[in-house]
Amino acid sequence: MIPYRHHGWLAFALFAVTLILFARCASPPPAPDTAGTSILVAGTPFDIGTRVVTWREPDGYSAYREGKHFDTDTDTEPDHQRRYGERPGNPQTLADVQQVVHQFVVHYDTCGTSRQCFKVLQDVRNLSVHFLLDVDGTIYQTLDVKERAWHATYANDFTVGVEIAHPGAFPQPMNAAMRPWYERDADGWRLRFPKWMTETGIRTPGFVGRPARPEIVRGEVQGKVWHQFDFTPEQYRALPKLIAGLARALPRLRIEAPRDRRGQIVNHALPKDVIRSFEGIVGHFHVQPNKQDPGPAFQWERVLRAARAQ
């Protein structure tokens, strides 16, 4: 039996425990980014409805890392090496970022997978990009959108970028550089990976990547003809969701691309003043005249239409 003098203390303890349990039950659910479908803009999660692996996850890719991600045994660079910088005015709040960022740059990575792309950016070239889009549709976010990533020269100040996993576009179809990335089977063309790529990092077990269109696409970019297989259907499903999510987070980011007087998507670099003022979606080739990505196979209208439908 508990002595009478301790009854008051016991009642207080039980009351305190009850409050703690109630607080736990009534506490809000985890931030949406922990659910794996949200991007982060100035620390604010925006659910985009498809898988996003942020730099916060153990198996994510972090451009905040000062040093190499994969080849840590050969990491000889200074500890202070950074792959990102501050945007003009150093915006930190969501409202500040919304005033600064108004353009989304679409790249293909020429690396074939997001793992290989991040390895090249982080461990080899000391560059960065906010998002990676793998062949199976998985999106990786390596930096908060508030950061100035190093992916599009002078446009880095006001853009957010994505590297889409893809071997690239080539001057001749199935030339020596293109051939190692593709093969035919009973169902048509499919992605394959060069022998030197011993690990792909693709998260979907047994994934087989196929171009969204069955044959090589031929088209003109920067006044030259390029040949390219299309991106995967999984990438075409994920990219519009990323664009729509960014457009919700960044009101100045319109779901539109540069067009000529006929209403066609411009297929060449634009003057710097035009790029600086454009609010919407651009290709890397719109920014730099020495670039072809995302290439002639990229289905602009399909992506824009799907993003608007979100």
State the DSSP string of 50-62: S-EEETTSTTS--
pLDDT of residue 76: 60
pLDDT of residue 25: 38
Tell me the whole-structure pTM to 2 decimals. Answer: 0.88
Cα pseudo-dihedral 186, 165, 304, 295, rounded to 10: -90
The 3-state DSSP composition of the chain as helix, strand, coil percent (nearest 5) reads: 30, 20, 50
Q: Determine if the peptide bond prior to 171 is cis (ω within 30°).
A: no
pLDDT digits (tens, 9 = 90+) for 257-266: 999 999 999 9
pLDDT of residue 71: 78
pLDDT digits (tens, 9 = 90+) for 130-173: 999 999 999 999 999 999 999 999 999 999 999 999 999 999 99
> What is the spatial distance between Cα 34 and Cα 120, in angstroms, rounded to a whole number?
27
Q: How many helices (H) and strands (E) does the chain have?
A: 7, 14
CATH of domain 35-309: 3.40.80.10
Cα pseudo-dihedral 90, 92, 93, 94, rounded to 10: 80
Indicate the domain borders of the chain.
35-309
Residue numbers of the chain with a pLDDT score lower than 70: 1-35, 73-80
Burial of 159 (0-12, 13-18, 19+ CB in 10 A): buried
pLDDT digits (tens, 9 = 90+) for 234-259: 999 999 999 999 999 999 999 999 99
E runs forming strands in 147-294: 148-149, 159-164, 182-185, 188-191, 217-221, 224-228, 280-283
